[in-house]
Amino acid sequence: MKKFILAIGVLMIGFTAQSQEVKKDKNAKVSMKVDGICGMCKKRIETAALKTVGVKFAIWSVETHQLNLIMDERKTNVSKVQENILKVGHDILLENDKKLVAKNEAYNSVHPCCKYRDEEIVLDHEGGLKKQKKKN
């Protein structure tokens, strides 16, 4: 009888532990902001995200800097995707004006027209620098 009660107790603990397991979504939708300024940045960011095992879909908007992903949470997580994006030289913009900054070696490896930290290059992409030059 004691063995029977012990066996039931172990089964109950097992079922309780199993029910608390977090289910991971195989088609989780995730979005984040990634700094960049042009079509070459778009290709680099999307490729870095897609090379992460488990990422099924990645699209980045030049205008909004929004990266939208569909990923399998059973195979990867957001921090792995962010790590791959940082490795190709792009900063990730977090909430409250905080950001994950790519290492200088990675940032310096991007094409000269993609130097999104340089205000003059950003203005040139937006057409602002051309407008300023015409005024002078």
Q: Which two tokens stand for residue 120?
A: 């003059």
What is the mean pLDDT of the segment spanning 34-55?
Answer: 95
Contact criterion met (CB below 8 Å) for 25 and 56: no
Q: Which two tokens stand for residue 43?
A: 């290709």
What is the mean pLDDT of the segment spanning 65-83?
Answer: 95
Q: What is the CATH number of domain 28-135?
A: 3.30.70.100
Least confident residue range of 12-16, 53-57, 100-104: 12-16
Contact criterion met (CB below 8 Å) for 93 and 65: yes
pLDDT at 112 over 50: yes
Extents of the domains making up the chain: 28-135
Share of residues in the chain with pLDDT > 70 (%)? 80
Q: CA 78 to CA 107: how far, in whole Å? A: 21
Q: CA nearest 123: which of 37, 35, 60, 61?
A: 37
Q: What b/e string do you get for 60-98 counting C-beta neighbours within 10 Å, with b at 16 or more?
A: beeeebebebbbebeebbeeebbebbbebbbbbeeeeee
pTM here is 0.76
pLDDT of 26 reads: 87
What is the mean pLDDT of the segment spanning 21-28?
Answer: 78
pLDDT of 108 reads: 95
